[in-house]
Structure 1
Amino acid sequence: MFCLTCFFWTAGLAALVLQKKTMALLLFGLALVVFGFYFLPEVRSELMFSRKKPLLQDKTKAGPDCPEAMSLAVQAKMTTVIGVGAVVDGNISCGQGAEIYGVLTGEISLPEGTVRILPGGRVNGNISASAIIIGGVVEGRCEGQTVTVLEQGTLRGTCCSAEFSIKPGGGFIGNAEAWPEPVSPGTREGGCAAGAVAGHRRGTLPVCLSTDGGRRDRDVFPADGRGADEEHTAGHD
């Protein structure tokens, strides 16, 4: 191809010397066309490879560091989702939240997260989180700063919470325990386990609540923290 380019170029020069301008221009044009077909593909490929090399190098450098580059804030916002129709046997203990549309058999422990059991969802196990919202069915123990049973929700088990509310239509069958008071530094026991003992001394009450169509018998902790047995005894005195 290079020889052909030289041939056309030489013939063009000869035609120019013989003052055959038309023939010279034609030969020069053919020489340029052949030159372009011969050299341009190599130039293009070289440019393409030169562009790809820095990209590949950047990817190679960034590859191993990708897991470490993820900030803790992004990891903390991760939400575990169990989809509709999914049946999972295991525990959830990482992330900032959990949404249950399917069935989970196991424990959920998110001390600073929010757990939502959506309508149709079910959890067979204990839940510990900052906020627990029940729109499905939970069978187990719920510990959280706030526990809310929505219209279609049902909680069967024990609830230990500072703020416990049941929307009209929701149901709760089980025991309600008082949220533990702040533990002094010298006390070893803390959390809801210690609160359960304290609540038992104060009279932790069994509760059966249902707000669908009316109110059933509802036992509520007295404002002074005493149990029902203590109030009954005080009344006789």
Structure 2
Amino acid sequence: MDRKYLALNSALLFWLLALVAWCSGALFLTWLFAAVSLLSFGISLLLNQVKIMFKKSKTPEAGKPELILPPVPVIEKEPTATEKHGTTVIASDVRFEGNIVSGGHVYVHGTLIGNIDSKESLIKIMRGGQVEGNITCRELIVDGKVLGQCSSDVIEICENGQVTGTLAYRTLAVKKGGLFSGQAEVLPAVAEKTNVVGLMKESAPDPLDLVPLQKL
């Protein structure tokens, strides 16, 4: 039982006992219980008045300064080159017709009818992917099928890769199981920079520029 209702409940209890004593014919007990009931009721009222006065005396402190924290500065992270350009992905259940020009990496899982131009990035034709068009990039990895002209510094044909067309490269790697049919051209070596003005390192003579067709 809550303490704040103890006096009121006691008053009701003694008043009930007074009624029982009145019905029983005990006048002395009736007056006794009635007096105790009135006393308990008076105490309950007095306690309520004291609580109300006590609450009124509790006033909020005036003039107390509030603590305001300064805003925390947000430091923006400089995005990387890959984050700036993003990555292009052709999903396995997508057939895309059109040309793609991207500054980031390109991954082809589905079918692409068109050219891909990503000179400074990686293009990877995933297993099950297919491209019908020309490809220009820094590094090309083929694990699917490509029909067209491919120009890249590094070209790698994986176990499931099939390339039909023309390759222009500086480094070529064909893994066991990979197939290539067409012409291959070796790009000229990049001239190395030197510290002496007007002096350039001589590059080695170009190897065979043209590779005849290979029958599958």
1:138 corresponding residue in structure 2: 146
Aligned counterpart in structure 2 of residue 92 of structure 1, from 100, 108, 115: 100
Aligned with 1:22: secondary structure?
Answer: helix
2:184 corresponding residue in structure 1: 176
TM-score (norm 2): 0.57
State percent identity of aligned pairs: 28
How many residue pairs match? The answer is 146
1:118-158 Cα distance to aligned partner (Å, 9 max, x none): 11100011111111000000001111111011111100000
Does the Cα contact within 8 Å between 2:183 and 2:213 map onto a contact in 1?
yes
1:86-120 Cα distance to aligned partner (Å, 9 max, x none): 00012221232011000011111111100110111
Aligned counterpart in structure 2 of residue 128 of structure 1, from 98, 119, 136: 136
Does the Cα contact within 8 Å between 1:105 and 1:124 map onto a contact in 2?
yes
The answer for unaligned runs of 5 or more in structure 2 is 1-41, 56-73, 192-205
The CA deviation at 1:181 is 3.7
Aligned with 1:130: secondary structure?
Answer: strand
1:204 corresponding residue in structure 2: 210
CA distance in 1, matches of 2:166, 2:54: 88
1:23 corresponding residue in structure 2: 45
The CA deviation at 1:203 is 5.4
CA distance in 1, matches of 2:138, 2:215: 23
The CA deviation at 1:205 is 2.3
Change over 3 Å in CA distance of 1:29–1:98 after alignment to 2: farther
TM-score (norm 1): 0.52
Q: Would you identify which runs of 4 or more consecutive aligned residues in structure 1 move more than 6 Å? A: 30-33
Aligned counterpart in structure 2 of residue 163 of structure 1, from 157, 164, 171: 171
Does the Cα contact within 8 Å between 1:115 and 1:133 map onto a contact in 2?
yes
1:18-64 Cα distance to aligned partner (Å, 9 max, x none): xx55314335668999xxxxxxxxxxxxxxxxxxxxxxxxxxxx9xx
Q: CA RMSD in A?
A: 3.3
The answer for unaligned runs of 5 or more in structure 1 is 1-19, 34-61, 184-197, 211-237
Aligned with 1:111: secondary structure?
Answer: strand
Change over 3 Å in CA distance of 1:21–1:167 after alignment to 2: same
* Higher helix proportion: 1
Aligned with 1:75: secondary structure?
Answer: helix
The CA deviation at 1:172 is 0.3
Aligned with 1:23: secondary structure?
Answer: helix
